[in-house]
């Protein structure tokens, strides 16, 4: 062991009689406290001191049965516990050495006492929760963080650590309050976040996804979900701004992303909803965009781990915030970030590459039916590719044929001059006369029921209207296919009892035919019946809306759909 020059007199005194110093330090009196402080200062530089019972002495002052149950008053023996915690935090390097197996087992047996005394020392100082800490208190916080970090790193210690009541709450306290506003370093992030993440992962696996750990986290902040969510997102934002290709900054971002994934775990839990409501997916998008700028074709282990964590998050939660959330992250550059990172894919685990490809090839394509999604994606392509996409977009939006919705007219809008009903934002008319005639014929009674939800923003209203016209066009351009399906699956069913269905959640879209009673929901049954009585066939369209699949009822465009087999024939 190297010689310590900071306390040479103390080192000489302790080295001369180590057993006697350890024995004296067991006594909770002024002389014992002085001996304990000497050992804390120089134990690491005294030969063979680990074999002389020093750990057992420290644990003697951290016995569970002596831990106070109340923090109303300070107890003198808490000072002995305080210095013992500081000393034990520096012994982590010995835990993995088989030579010290007996000491490691003693430490495991004493962990409940360590947790209780840590809570007492922490909770007794109200300044800790207000981030007004002095240097001595920072040393104490660092000692608890060091102990948690050391225990969480050894798989053999994790069961005892996590199963001991108060361990997860202690890790959460240190992470939430310990260095906030006082130390702003990536090393502090790693020291406090690693043990918390390890505890949450182990406990979540142990409980098979139940919400125990999430409730424990909330208990530390008195159930204030908003505070906890804002704190995590703020720290992720700071880490993202400091991001470069260094190990510390990359690890900090990866740890915060992993923590967010762990706390987003259970569906319907307030923490998950809180993250989405607070713009959590947007914060993570900014992180992966920043990461993509630092990833070379041959990433280091830490760069690869950070990128893997980012991709894993989007694989799990990209669609949790609805289609509007997907559009938002597209605008922020998620697709471009994945493309920028793609040269590094050969160096990443196969599972990570598969997740990234699934996002690009399976998750995103069904959203191309939304105009706003196209608008968000197009700017991120190079000029030549952008021209192709814009041409495709122009084709989709200009060739869509609209028929006059007056049952007695059904004129085709070849010049794109028809006007949409301002009430429902769904039906079109070639002239004011046709609008008035259809209003009297029955549109008056269904306009409110079929209207695009007025609570939606202008973008969402436009998206719904475009999907309706797209589905109607698809049905009529493929009417022969629907006839074939109907003849094969419903040979004896009257055609006016059948409904063509388009599944836009699949690429390419999938066609099917269902009976009227099976396809039309109760909400739209009166409207569909009215259109059916006037010779118009209903359509059911299925679309993606985040992680949910929604069905839309649409009136068919054109008269006597089942009497013609193609648009050209009509």
Residue-wise pLDDT for 10-34, tens only, equals 999 999 999 999 999 999 999 999 9
**Section 135-141 average pLDDT:** 68
Confidence of residue 288 (pLDDT cuts 50, 70, 90): very high
Give pLDDT, residue 394. 45
Residue predicted with more confidence, 469 or 116:
116
Model pLDDT, residue 511: 94
Candidate from 94-108, 290-304, 370-384, 411-425 with smallest mean pLDDT: 370-384
Looking at residue 266, its pLDDT comes to 66
Confidence of residue 444 (pLDDT cuts 50, 70, 90): confident
| pLDDT score, position 401 | 53
CB of 41 closer than 8 Å to CB of 10:
yes
Q: How confident is the model at residue 560 (pLDDT cuts 50, 70, 90)?
A: low
| pLDDT recorded at residue 61 | 94
pLDDT in tens, 198-233: 888 888 777 665 557 788 888 888 899 999 999 999
CA distance 296 to 313: 21
Confidence of residue 179 (pLDDT cuts 50, 70, 90): low
Q: Residue 540: which pLDDT band, with cuts at 50, 70 and 90? A: confident
- Return the minimum-mean-pLDDT range out of 18-22, 168-172, 202-206, 496-500: 202-206
Between these two residues, 560 and 272, which has the higher pLDDT value? 272
Structure tokens at 502: 């388009």
- The whole-number pLDDT of residue 555 equals 67
Q: In whole angstroms, what is the distance from residue 288 CA to residue 179 CA?
A: 26
Please give the full DSSP string across 496-519, using - where no structure is assigned. Answer: GGEEEEEETTSSS-EEEEEEHHHH
Average pLDDT, the chain: 81
Q: How far apart are CA 301 and CA 348, in angstroms?
A: 9
- The per-residue b/e assignment along 151-183, b for 16 or more CB within 10 angstroms, e otherwise, is bbeeeebbeebbebeebbbbbbbbbbbbbbebb
Evaluate whether 283 touches 220 at the Cβ level (below 8 Å). Answer: no
How far apart (Å, rounded) are the C-alpha atoms in residues 534 and 108? 79
pLDDT above 90 covers a percentage of the chain that reads 25
Lowest mean pLDDT among 15-24, 385-394, 405-414: 385-394
CB-based contact 295:303 (threshold 8 Å)? yes
Cis before 508? omega within 30: yes
Q: Cα–Cα distance between 387 and 221 in angstroms, integer? A: 52
Q: What is the pLDDT of residue 185?
A: 56
**pLDDT of 187 higher than 80:** no
- Average pLDDT for 344-354: 92
- Mean pLDDT for the stretch of residues 159-166: 86
- pLDDT of 305 > 60? The answer is yes
Q: Which residues pair with 501 in a beta bridge?
A: 512, 540
Between residues 467 and 55, the one the model is more confident about: 55
The tally of CA atoms less than 13 A away on the side-chain side of residue 444 is 6
C-alpha–C-alpha distance, residues 287 and 464, integer Å:
31
Crossing angle between the packed helical segments 18-25 and 8-16, to the nearest 10 degrees: 100
What letters, b where the CB count within 10 A reaches 16 and e where it falls short, cover 45-57?
A: bbeebbebbbbeb
Is the pLDDT score of 114 beyond 70? yes
Q: How far is CA 342 from CA 292, 307, 339, 357, in A?
A: 9, 11, 5, 10
Q: Which tokens in the block code for residue 420? A: 């949409």
Dihedral, CA of residue 271, residue 272, residue 275 and residue 277, to nearest 10: -100
Q: What share of the chain is helix, strand, coil (3-state, %, to 5)?
A: 65, 5, 30
Residue 29 and residue 9: Cα distance in Å, rounded?
22
Cα 389 to Cα 382, 383, 394: the distances in Å are 10, 10, 8
Question: Helical H runs in 43-166?
Answer: 54-60, 77-89, 92-95, 101-109, 111-124, 126-129, 135-153, 158-163
For every residue of 236-285, DSSP letters joined together read: HHHHHHT--SSHHHHHHHHHHHHHHHHHT-STT-HHHHHHHHTTHHHHHH
Question: pLDDT by residue (tens digit) across 65-100?
Answer: 988 877 667 777 888 998 898 888 888 777 777 888
The β-bridge partners of 538 are 555
Angstrom CA distances, 133 to 73, 89, 192, 235, stand at: 19, 20, 17, 20
Q: What is the pLDDT of residue 354?
A: 94
* 524: nearest Cα among 446, 412, 422: 446
């Amino acid at each position: 062991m190297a010689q310590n020059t900071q306390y040479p007199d103390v080192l000489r005194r302790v080295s001369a009689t180590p057993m006697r110093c350890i024995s004296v330090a067991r006594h909770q009196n002024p002389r014992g406290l002085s001996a304990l402080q000497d050992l804390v200062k120089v134990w690491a530089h005294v030969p063979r001191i680990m074999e002389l019972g020093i750990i057992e002495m420290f644990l003697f002052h951290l016995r569970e049965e002596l831990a106070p149950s109340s923090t109303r008053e300070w107890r003198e023996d808490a000072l002995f516990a305080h210095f013992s915690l500081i000393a034990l935090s520096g012994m982590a390097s010995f835990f993995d050495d088989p030579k010290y197996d007996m000491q490691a087992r003693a430490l495991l047996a004493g962990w409940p006492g360590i947790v209780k005394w840590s809570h007492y020392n922490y909770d007794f100082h109200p300044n800790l929760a207000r981030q007004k800490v002095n240097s001595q208190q920072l040393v104490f916080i660092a000692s608890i963080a060091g102990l948690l970090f050391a225990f969480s790193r050894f798989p053999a210690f994790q069961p005892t650590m996590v199963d001991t009541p108060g361990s997860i709450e202690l890790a959460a306290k240190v992470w939430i309050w310990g260095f906030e506003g006082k130390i702003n370093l990536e090393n502090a992030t790693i020291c406090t976040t690693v043990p918390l993440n390890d505890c949450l992962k182990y406990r979540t696996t142990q409980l098979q996804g139940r919400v125990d750990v999430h409730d424990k986290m909330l208990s530390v902040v008195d159930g204030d979900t908003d505070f906890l969510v804002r704190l995590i997102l703020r720290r992720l934002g700071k880490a993202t701004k400091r991001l470069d290709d260094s190990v510390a900054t990359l690890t900090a971002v990866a740890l915060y992303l992993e923590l967010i994934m762990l706390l987003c775990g259970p569906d319907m839990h307030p923490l998950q909803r809180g993250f989405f409501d607070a713009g959590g997916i947007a914060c993570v998008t900014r992180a992966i965009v920043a990461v993509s700028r630092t990833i070379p074709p041959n990433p280091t282990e830490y760069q690869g781990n950070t990128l893997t964590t980012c991709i894993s998050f989007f694989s799990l939660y990209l669609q949790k915030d609805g289609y509007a959330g997907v559009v938002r992250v597209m605008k922020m550059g998620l697709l471009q970030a994945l493309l920028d990172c793609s040269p590094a894919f050969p160096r990443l685990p196969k599972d990570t590459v598969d997740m990234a490809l699934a996002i690009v090839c399976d998750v995103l394509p069904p959203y191309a039916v939304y105009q706003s999604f196209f608008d968000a994606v197009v700017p991120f392509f190079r000029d030549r590719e952008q021209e192709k996409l814009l041409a495709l977009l122009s084709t989709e939006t200009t060739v869509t044929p609209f028929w006059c919705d007056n049952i007695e007219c059904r004129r085709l809008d070849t010049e794109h001059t028809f006007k949409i009903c301002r009430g429902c934002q769904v039906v079109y008319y070639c002239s004011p006369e046709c609008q008035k005639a259809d209003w009297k014929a029955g549109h008056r009674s269904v306009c409110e029921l079929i209207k695009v939800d007025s609570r939606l923003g202008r973008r969402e209203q436009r998206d719904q209207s475009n999907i309706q016209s797209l589905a109607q066009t698809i049905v009529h351009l493929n009417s022969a296919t629907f006839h074939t399906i109907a003849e094969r699956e419903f040979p004896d069913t009257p055609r006016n009892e059948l409904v063509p269905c388009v599944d836009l959640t699949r690429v390419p879209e999938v066609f099917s035919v269902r009976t009227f009673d099976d396809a039309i929901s109760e909400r739209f049954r009166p409207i569909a019946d009215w259109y059916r009585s006037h010779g118009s066939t209903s359509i059911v369209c299925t679309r993606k809306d985040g992680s949910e699949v929604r069905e839309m009822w649409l009136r068919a465009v054109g008269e006597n759909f089942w009497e013609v087999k193609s648009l050209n024939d009509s």
